[in-house]
Structure 1
Amino acid sequence: MSHPPVRRALVRRLPVAAACAALSLGAAAQANPYYLQLQQSFTHDTNLFRERDGQEDSDLISTTGLEVGLDQPISRQRLRARAHVERNRFRDNDHLDNTSYGVGVRADLETVNRISGGLHYNHERNLASFDTYTGSVHLTERNMIRRQDYGARIQYGGMSLLTLEAGYVHRDQKYSADAFQNREQRSDTVQAGVRYRPSDLVGFGLAGRYTRGRIPHYTPTEGDKYKRRDLDLTATWVPTGLSTLNARVSLTSTDHDLAEARDFDGVTGAISWRYQPTGKLTLNLHLVRETNDETGFYLAEPETPDEPPQLATLQETKLIHSARLSATWAATAKIRLTGGVRHVDRNIRVTDGRGNDRTTTAELGASYAITRSILFGCNVGWVQRDTSSGAASVSYDYSSRTASCLARLTLN
């Protein structure tokens, strides 16, 4: 038995119901905290092992990756997590085939009593970069590096004029190659300080840091222990809504039990400047002056809080100076151009010699987002290392060119 009036009423309401369902699905999509990412890339390297000029060995590397992530606000708290795995295959050097992976978790915590803080954990496994080697240690075998760091921070004061801060970080670095056991390192750092913020545009901080570290296999029979003390003066300046400057100057003292050539007393620090002159163009500048004990983990701070830190392999050095300038230009809503240049100056100290080298890296890339989920991109890069006179025993000249393209699918 049919009911025309009821049917006509239902038909009239269908557009309204469909619109409500679409709005609900759109809101659910926007609120979805999860994402899944698939990526395939191919990279050609003209000097895979970073050999001396005239001894280059080129190769083509295929990387297939999967990443899952989470970004979920929970009341006053926020939880971020990501996990990725990649299968890397080499066309001509299949002994380097490997599986790399990483896990990262970060929790930002806040209470109603002006107390905030956070917890973080990161674990990464990758093929160690060949361009960080010195002349005294150079391998062509597969050498996997594992890095792990975790820690906690706490802050009291909220948005008040003065805030108290404290934190703890544990770091650990290991290699699979026996020849690199003397570069393995672990450390624990505690810090405490005060921050003064007279306005939203400027802030200052004063803190003390204390680090105890160990290189377990510095020699075949003995491990090296070291202690590092830092007095940090930090500043943040936001001259306009387009520019942000962060700076740190530290009085640093490091004492090693065995590796006395790496002892250091002096000034270290870092400067980070972010400038966005237009809605499409963003510039980032990073300057770093650090000792071996810190640059073994972080050579440059991430450009945004959501980015993982840029990790560097532990160097056999006493002091490293690094400068990096990068730019991003959103040419259109779908096309993005990127470019950057980095210069690293190493003061090398090894058992059989000492010297200096300078490595310059430049990159240029472009990406095209076909849809919100599908992206294609290509990148070219150049690397050039030059050594100072008398440094032949610890370093050597080389150059390399790379070209890569990728396809990425993101679902959320």
Structure 2
Amino acid sequence: MSATNTHKIRRLSSALGLLGAACLGSSTAWAEQSPYYYGASLGLNHVSNIYRVNNNANSDEVATASLLAGIDQHLGRQRLYADASVQANRYRKSSTLNNLGYNLKGGLDWSTIGRLSGTVSASANRALANYNIDRNNTTPIFAKNIETNNRLDSTVRLGLVTKLTLEGSVGLVQRRFTLDQFNRFEYDQKRYAVDLFYKPSADLRFGLGLSRSNTDYPRYEAIGTPVTDYKPAAYKRDDINLTSDWTISGKSALYARLSSGKSKQTVGGNNDFSGVTGQLTWNWRPTARWNVSTSVSRDTGLESSLFQNGPVTSSYDQDRLTNALQVNASYELSAKVTLTGGMSFSNTDRAKSLATNSLKDFDKDKAYNLGLRWAYSRGITLGCQVGVQSRDSSVATYAYSANNYGCYGQILVN
């Protein structure tokens, strides 16, 4: 590790140490819960294959220092909440990837004296993008690429009678990249949905709804060499959705969605889809110490939601059908020590037309992770984790394997 980066990491470690001493000295202040919190964290990780290439994989160590803050405040019938974090990432060898990221989210849950209620929420995040996702440019890219995602959602609910609820929602999503080679994955999406829910008992709810999403890719295809302009692309998707939430017992709960939909590329091509998609999630607590969540899904493109926040992100483009499985589990070894683990699998298929031939085109992603978390006190947490990811693909340059391991410490005061 270079002297400069070593010095930076030592300064970060010293700062966290001082903050930890301050927290230990003021533990009596934690006795009264506050709606506010603030804190800091430091993580050190080894990554074996940063750029997700199938050969000449490069490894590196990265230090991540974060500042955290948030609020969760009830104001009469309303609830205001917000979380914010800023992360400084420093690589030991690949210093060109050093970056400053953030995660911001907040919202308002509101209700009236009558039967009207709803939520308004927003989020924004900035981080180093996943590499090896552009199948049209199979040449590996070794440069910093920052991905920014912004989202705004609003939902309004009207309780018609005791067992019926009408719900309407609107959402806006935007994604941007700093590298021009990823322009075709930038998009702006608008989502609309209307759902009618029927709740025959406290443990069971059914839903029937209609949804539409309009997605615009402003720079989908480059024109000219060098590039002088871009051709846009646009998609329209309509779905009929059947949903169900069923709390089977205090130990088990199911969520199911079955959708019949059509997606049409209205501008720039003919990547249309028509068929049945869905998702099934089972949350299971066999004992007080165990917590297991299992999800399976089948969906297309940006509508694939299973791995949005997981170790595998397969939803950058529209022309693909993904079948996926994800399992996450945690086990409390003691009151302060928790063991976590997870695995995920996704199988993505799509057809590429070449003259009169149809070529088989697939990606098969796998990921495994294992971690150990120690809650030293109410505000101090230490942990370590290890992960393995791999992809098998019909395009040789798109296959890769990678692993990572590291530890972190976090301090929160509220």
TM-score (norm 2): 0.85
Q: Mapping of 1:93-112 within 5 angstroms?
A: 93-112=94-113
Cα displacement string for residues 326-385 of structure 1 (whole angstroms, at most 9, x for unaligned residues): 101111111011000000112256798761010100000001111212111000001121
Q: Which position in structure 2 is the counterpart of 1:16?
A: none
Q: How do 1:18-57 and structure 2 match up within 5 A?
A: 29-30=32-33, 32-52=34-54, 54-57=55-58
Structure 1: unaligned runs, 5 residues or longer? 1-23, 303-307
Q: Secondary structure at the match of 2:135?
A: coil
1:257 CA drift (Å):
2.9
Cα deviation, residue 80, structure 1: 1.2
Percent identity of equivalent pairs: 28
- Give the Å deviation of 1:51: 1.1
Match of 2:266 in 1: 257
Shift of 1:278: 1.2
Letter in structure 2 aligned against 1:194: L
For residue 181 of structure 1, give the secondary structure of its aligned residue in structure 2: helix
SS in 1 for 2:296: strand
Contact kept in structure 2, 1:299 and 1:312, CA below 8 Å: no
Q: Tell me how far apart the structure 1 counterparts of residues 386 and 311 of structure 2 sit (CA, whole Å).
A: 22
Measure the CA separation in 2 of the matches of 1:159 and 1:380.
50
Specify the SS of the correspondent of 2:46.
strand
CA drift at 1:159: 7.7
User: Equivalent residue of 1:222, what SS?
Assistant: strand
How far 1:396 sits from its partner (Å)?
3.1
Larger radius of gyration: 1
Aligned to 2:291: 282
Could you say which residue in structure 1 is the equivalent of 2:72? 71
More deviation in 172-181 or 126-135? Answer: 126-135
Q: Does 1:168 align with 2:170?
A: yes
How big is the shift at 1:219?
Answer: 1.3
Name the structure 1 match of 2:331: 329
Give 1:193 shift.
1.9
* Counterpart residue type for residue 87 of structure 2: E
Is there any run of 5+ residues in structure 2 with no aligned partner, and where?
1-27, 223-229
2:221 to 219, 222, 236: 219
Rounded to whole Å, the distance in 1 between the matches of 2:311 and 2:159 is 27
Q: What is the DSSP-based 3-state SS (H/G/I as helix, E as strand, rest coil) of the residue aligned with 2:221?
A: coil
Alpha-carbon distance in 2 for matches of 1:173, 1:350:
25
SS of match in other structure, 2:143: coil
Equivalent-residue separation in structure 2 for 1:160 and 1:242 (angstroms) = 26
Q: Output the amino acid matched with 1:48.
A: I
* Superposition deviation, residue 71 in structure 1: 0.8
Identify if the C-alpha distance between structure 1 residues 59 and 110 changes in structure 2 by more than 3 Å, giving closer, same or farther: same
Contact 1:128 1:313 in 2 (8 A): no
Separation in structure 1 between the aligned mates of residue 407 and residue 314 of structure 2, nearest angstrom? 23
Alignment check: 8 A CA contact 1:129 1:313 kept: no
- SS of residue matched to 2:107: strand
Match in the other structure for 2:385: 379
Distance 1:354 1:247 in 2: 31
Deviation of 1:131 (Å): 5.2
Contact 2:232 2:268 in 1 (8 A): no
Matched, 1:86 2:95: no
- Taking the TM superposition and a 5 Å limit, the aligned residue runs for 1:151-300 are 151-157=153-159, 160-220=162-222, 221-258=230-267, 260-295=269-304, 298-300=305-307
> Alpha-carbon deviations, 1:17-64, whole Å to 9, x = none?
xxxxxxx9677x22x101112110011011111111x42111101100
Aligned Cα RMSD in Å? Answer: 2.4
- Given candidates 355, 360, 369, the residue that maps to 2:366 is 360
Q: CA distance change for structure 1 residues 261 and 350 in 2, over 3 Å: closer, same or farther?
A: farther
Q: Give a deviation string over 1:78-115, Cα, whole Å, max 9, x none.
A: 11101110000111111110000121112111112111
AA aligned to 1:72 is Q
CA contact (8 A) 1:286 1:300 kept: no
Structure 2 counterparts to residues 117-132 of structure 1, below 5 A? 117-130=118-131, 132=133
SS at match of 1:216: strand
The alpha-carbon distance between structure 1 residues 133 and 284, as it changes in their structure 2 partners (threshold 3 A), is farther
Paired with 2:257 and 2:248, the residues of 1 have a C-alpha distance of 17
Q: What secondary structure, in the 3-state scheme, does the structure 1 residue paired with 2:51 have?
A: coil
